[in-house]
Amino acid sequence: MNNILGTKCMDAYIRLCNRGVEQGWHERNGGNLTYRMTEEDVLECKGYFNAVPGEWVKMNVSAENLANEYFIVTGSGKFLSNVSLEPQNAIAIVEINDAGDSYRIVWGLTDGGKPTSEFPTHFMNQSIRKRVTNGENRVIYHAHTPNVIALSSVLPVSSEIFTRMLWKSATECCVVFPGGVGVVPWMIPGGSDIALATCAMMEKYDAAVWTNHGLFVSGPDFDIAFGLMHTIEKAAEVAAIALAARGGKAPLNVISDDSLRQIGEAFGVKLNEDVLNFKSEDCMYC
């Protein structure tokens, strides 16, 4: 290999972008992806870094546990559909400083530009996911998943209600996301409020719905993060079709609480008890 684009991490990053685009989740510049590189990734890529790195850019957020890490990031305003066509202009590798409060570009975005507008949100959430998963989680992925967005506009803003609807609509959902999904109310994209609200969710969930906007997920690798996004979006599609087919009334035949418990036992996963025991008049699936 004589090019950074052939490295394992770059290859996997670009593949995820293509898979998301194939699903129709990345209109225009919608969505973004960050990956915290392993030491091996950095060693593999380092020879291709710019001879002179960019200037340090101070962020309005900081995270000590991300000091000296390297991230592959999407560029602000860049289209995920262009990542595989011209990666060097659509994505970058950034290095974080010793204090964990500034980044500099060491590769990519060759025609100028900066990391995604959601970088502070990704950065803070990367920090939380690194801490709560003991360093296991490395990928944070945001996409404009249409069925999740549609459901978020008809359901109450509630993590428990949203999760119950997904779990009860498709059998393997509760195995793929036994912790459930968090729901963040509508907020301005790219701002510090949405960053903080998402951080609160990422302490306990590995996925957060952004109301009227999309979905934000975290995972240890690209396949697991993409698979989580895909599973949630597909369950939302099933739920939305079923709801529409009944003219907005609750479907007749969804998975019962007992059956959810049985699935948990059969697959050896611990389902979130707060979601399992949730009762509310606003919840069609309780």
* Footprint of ligand 2HA on 235-274 (CB under 6 A): none
Tell me the residue nearest to ligand 2HA as measured from the CB. Answer: 189
Active site residue 118: yes
Q: Rule CB under 6 A: is residue 29 a binding residue for ligand 2HA? A: yes
Smaller CB separation from ligand 2HA, 30 or 113: 30
Q: Rule CB under 6 A: is residue 116 a binding residue for ligand 2HA? A: yes
Smaller CB separation from ligand 2HA, 108 or 178: 108
Query: Taking the complex as a whole, how short is the minimal distance between the CB of residue 26 and ligand 2HA, in angstroms?
Result: 8
Among 135, 156, 185, 189, binds ligand 2HA (CB under 6 A): 189
Q: Rule CB under 6 A: is residue 125 a binding residue for ligand 2HA? A: no
* Footprint of ligand 2HA on 126-145 (CB under 6 A): 142
Convert 231-266 to b/e letters by CB count within 10 Å (16 or more is b).
Answer: bbbbbbbbbbebbeeeeeeebeebbebeebeebbee
Token couple for 62: 């900081």
Query: Taking the complex as a whole, how short is the minimal distance between the CB of residue 191 and ligand 2HA, in angstroms?
Result: 10
Q: Rule CB under 6 A: is residue 32 a binding residue for ligand 2HA? A: yes
> Which residues form the catalytic set?
118
Question: What residues make contact with ligand 2HA under the rule CB under 6 A?
Answer: 29-32, 116-118, 142, 189
